[in-house]
Amino acid sequence: MFAYIVRRVLYAIPILIGVNLITFTLFFVVNTPDDMARMHLGTKRVTAEAISKWKLERGYDKPLLWNTTATGSAKLTSTIFFERSMRLFRFDFGAAEDGRDIAREIRGRMLPSFALALPVFLVGLAVNISFALMLAFFRATYLDTWGVVFCVAMMSVSTLFYIIGGQYLISKLWHLVPISGYARGPDALRFLVLPVIIGIVSGFGTSARLYRTLFLEEMSKDYVRTAKAKGLAERVVMFRHVLRNAMIPILTGVVVVLPALFFGSLITESFFGIPGLGSYTIDAIQAQDFAVVRAMVFIGSVLYILGLLATDLSYTLVDPRVRFQ
């Protein structure tokens, strides 16, 4: 198992290099260092000297991918790509355009993101599974039919409407919680209730319907028929047999998002003014701050790869039939 993990971690390195290459292509080939220099220095009366000075100061005077003037391994290392993206592997993200250290910013924003994403994930999972189990229990009745229609209707509403509607109804009309904002410490609870509810509601339709399908698939298996033939009550069959076995695809399916919980939810955070990683990213996108966007892309990819690894590991934990090769 240890060898397997090591192999998977090693496999992640080419993927991360690929991710960097893609973001690098997007950022530097279309928007060349010369363009960046002009954008920073302003368009008026920019001399070639000023541009090359700007590039030299920030290390943008080197070739993009392959340095023909250098010798040996420096051909590869003395380039903008290598210097910019290899730093990311050390989690050294440099400074944002306003001069603040990105790594510090990220450390400070991880907790609020997590505080929002974790309850959404856990409570959401519980709600969705219970609802799906109820529909599966009452399968092929009116309750089931309309339950599915309800799910489909829920997933047809844009997240934006859930947020706007929730803010209007709960905060403005009923004055239950503040519309947006954040506070550190236990005070955060007041600010987190509404985004958590909206996060759960907006993910409800898709997941509940998917879980219902998984439950129904499990219920059509032979061992369930055997259990029923033995004379076990429907309730026992549902909770002892179906629920447990259907948890395998459900759990392994959600493990992939676990690390990404730190990454937070882009839209919800920016709407509610929660100072997490999601709103940081959105702000960076809107301010066209490439350094931050690049750092966030990198972190997002690392978390996704961790999620894939966790998924594979979780298969062995919940399903003894799966073995590593």
- Name which of 284, 315, 320 is nearest 299 in CA terms: 284
**CA-CA distance, 166 to 173, in Å (whole number)?**
10
Question: 233: which DSSP letter?
Answer: -
Cβ distance to another protein smaller for residue 12 or 125: 12
Note whether 81 and 89 are within 8 A (CB). Answer: no
Minimum CB separation from another protein for residue 242, in Å? 10
Minimum CB separation from another protein for residue 261, in Å? 13
Cβ distance to another protein smaller for residue 188 or 224: 224
Cβ distance to another protein smaller for residue 31 or 187: 31
Cβ distance to another protein smaller for residue 20 or 79: 20
| Helix extents (H) in the chain | 2-24, 33-41, 48-58, 74-77, 80-89, 102-137, 142-155, 159-166, 188-219, 222-229, 234-236, 243-255, 266-272, 277-287, 290-318
Cβ distance to another protein smaller for residue 74 or 161: 161
Q: Which residues bind another protein (CB under 8 A)?
A: 14-15, 18-19, 22-23, 26-27, 30-31, 35, 139-140, 152-153, 155-161, 164, 167-168, 172, 179, 213, 215-220, 263, 266-267, 270, 281-282, 285-286, 288, 290, 293, 296-297, 300-301, 304-305, 308
Cβ distance to another protein smaller for residue 27 or 67: 27
**CA-CA distance, 314 to 325, in Å (whole number)?**
15
Minimum CB separation from another protein for residue 189, in Å? 24
Which tokens belong to 278?
A: 């999601």
Task: Give the CA angle between residues 136, 163, 170 to the nearest 5°.
Answer: 95
- With 0-12 / 13-18 / 19 or more C-beta atoms within 10 angstroms meaning exposed / middle / buried, residue 228 is middle
Note whether 273 and 238 are within 8 A (CB). Answer: no
Q: Which residue has the tokens 């730190």?
A: 262
Please name the helix (run of DSSP H) or strand (run of DSSP E) that holds residue 320, with its range, or none.
none
Cβ distance to another protein smaller for residue 30 or 48: 30
